[in-house]
Amino acid sequence: MTLSDITVDESGFVTVAGNVVTRNLSCTGLAPAVSSDDPETSAPDPNTVGRNATGQCAGLT
């Protein structure tokens, strides 16, 4: 899965949380920031990645 060039207009995060990706998860150009926290509870909701998480998504597993 590749996510690129996504921008949030309000002061928030691009949320990449609770996904199951069987191969790679790659993220670039996500602004202002990227988070794996559940947007409703602010609790961590990590992603499960079968291979590699790279770019801005590297720490979201």
Q: Is cis: bond before 39, omega within 30 of 0?
A: no
Name beta bridge partners: 14. 34
Cβ–Cβ contacts within 10 Å for residue 36, how many?
19
Q: What is the pTM of this model?
A: 0.81
| Confidence band, pLDDT 50/70/90 cuts, at residue 9 | low
Residue 40 is part of which domain span?
1-61
Q: How many domains does the chain have?
A: 1
pLDDT digits (tens, 9 = 90+) for 15-54: 898 999 999 999 999 888 888 888 788 888 999 999 999 9
Task: Give the pLDDT score at 24.
Answer: 96
